[in-house]
Amino acid sequence: MASDLQQTLERVSRKTLHLTERYNAIRQRLEQMRKQLDEREQEIVRLQAEVERLSLENDYLKVVTTAHHSRADVERSRAVISRLVRQIDRCINELNE
């Protein structure tokens, strides 16, 4: 009877140790995944900012390099310039406040 109890305790102890090791491995993997997720999120933010900058640059280049001045090109250029002037005015107002 005592040996059965001892064997049961040893078996439970081994299983507990095994579960603890698995738990620690999973926790470590979770921490690695969280770090990787943070890095990916930072990369996404950086790339979104770059896309926005390049899109603006593309708009500016379209305005500057329009070779054939069709009515649509002129209107598009005026719209871009108007948007830039509004942004400048907004910045000036924020600086004055």
| Res 92: pLDDT | 84
Which segments in the chain show pLDDT lower than 50?
A: none
| Res 1: pLDDT | 67
Q: What is the dihedral of CA 39, 40, 46, 47, to 10 degrees?
A: 160
Q: How many Å apart are CA 65 and CA 76, to the nearest integer?
A: 12
Break the chain into its structural domains and give their ranges: 1-54, 66-97
| Res 69: pLDDT | 67
| Res 78: pLDDT | 83
Q: Which residue has the tokens 């900012």?
A: 49
pTM above 0.75, yes or no: no
| Res 67: pLDDT | 59
For residue 24 the two structure tokens come to: 């620690």
